[in-house]
Amino acid sequence: AQTVTQSQPEMSVQEAETVTLSCTYDTSESDYYLFWYKQPPSRQMILVIRQEAYKQQNATENRFSVNFQKAAKSFSLKISDSQLGDAAMYFCAYKILWNNNDMRFGAGTRLTVKP
Amino acid sequence: KAGVTQTPRYLIKTRGQQVTLSCSPISGHRSVSWYQQTPGQGLQFLFEYFSETQRNKGNFPGRFSGRQFSNSRSEMNVSTLELGDSALYLCASSSHTGPGTDTQYFGPGTRLTVL
């Protein structure tokens, strides 16, 4: 069974600083998709970034970037120049096929941003 | 485009009753997935509908069912409610017109409380 582990229940960062959230996953598949979602206190989940396993290049979206280590089954999220609006629960997620939305989520990391 | 909408936003039911939740996907999206979010179990995949057919199903009892209409709107039904069904139920839609179009966009959720 595929599992996703986020070992940091809570993290905090100073505004304008950089923070890295960790995620590891367990799978025997060679092709899969990885995601980071953000869930602010208002509850609506928002996609932050996605990574296809067959792509060696790490995905980036403005201040958000990932460090994808396929052999180590690691998928960390780096947030640069942290802003107050980045405060939220962050979920790492995994799925096997593009046409199968059975997505497995980690338990989440609550990020606090200090002014 | 309007985002994913879910109704109602809040529900209070008693044990043994049944409940129906509704989800309207982003216009043009053909896939709708449902997730249950609880503090104890986190985010768990319930099922996915694509073009009115259930394409994938998570590990939930038969009391949880769903359907999708020709306009892609989806409903989820829970019969014989139990206290443990209290949760935030999230709906997500994706276009699924080909690889790379499977990103899921989430609605705000329906908070179900079972007394």
pLDDT tens digits for A79-97?
999 999 999 999 999 988 7
How far apart CA A40 and CA A18 sit, in angstroms, is: 19
Question: Which phi and psi (to 5°) does residue A33 adopt?
Answer: -130, 140
Is the model more confident about A79 or about A32? A79
Can you give the pLDDT at residue A98?
A: 67
Residue of A35, A42, A101 lying closest to B48 (CB–CB) = A101
Q: Is the pLDDT of residue B100 over 90?
A: no
- Contact criterion met (CB < 8 Å) for B107 and A44: yes
Residue A9 contacts B, CB cutoff 8 Å? no
Write the single-letter amino acid at A63: R
Residues near B69 by beta carbon (within 8 Å), at least 6 away in sequence: B52, B75
Q: Find the closest chain A residue to B31 by CA distance.
A: A101
Strands B19-24 and B10-13: unpaired
Confidence of residue B110 (pLDDT cuts 50, 70, 90): very high
Residue A54 contacts B, CB cutoff 8 Å? no
Strands A109-114 and A10-14: parallel
Q: Is the pLDDT of residue B103 over 90?
A: no
Cβ contacts of A93 on chain B, cutoff 8 Å: 43
Query: Which of A41-50, B80-89, B95-104 shows the lowest mean pLDDT across its residues?
Result: B95-104
Question: pLDDT by residue (tens digit) across B2-47?
Answer: 899 999 999 999 999 999 999 999 999 999 999 999 998 999 999 9
Residue A56 contacts B, CB cutoff 8 Å? no
